Amino acid sequence: MARAAYVTDLKTLQGECSANYWRLIRLVGELEAGMSRDIVLNAAGRDAGRLQLRVQEQAPYTTILHVSQAGIWDDVMPPPRMRVHLYHDVRMAEVTDFQRERHFEGRYRYPNSRMHQPDEKLQLNRFLGEWLEHGLAHGLYADLPETP
Where in the chain are the domains?
10-142
pLDDT given for residue 147 in this prediction: 45
Tens-place pLDDT, residues 27-66: 998 889 999 998 888 777 777 788 999 999 999 999 999 9
- Greater model confidence, 113 or 148: 113
Element at 123 (helix H, strand E): helix 120-138
Integer Cα distance of 75 and 94 in angstroms: 29
- Greater model confidence, 145 or 76: 76
Tens-place pLDDT, residues 96-129: 987 666 666 655 565 656 555 656 788 889 989 9
Integer Cα distance of 95 and 33 in angstroms: 18
Chain-wide mean pLDDT for the chain?
A: 81
Nearest C-alpha neighbor of 41 from the set 131, 127, 143: 131
Nearest C-alpha neighbor of 54 from the set 27, 22, 93, 87: 27
| 85 band by pLDDT with thresholds 50, 70 and 90 | very high
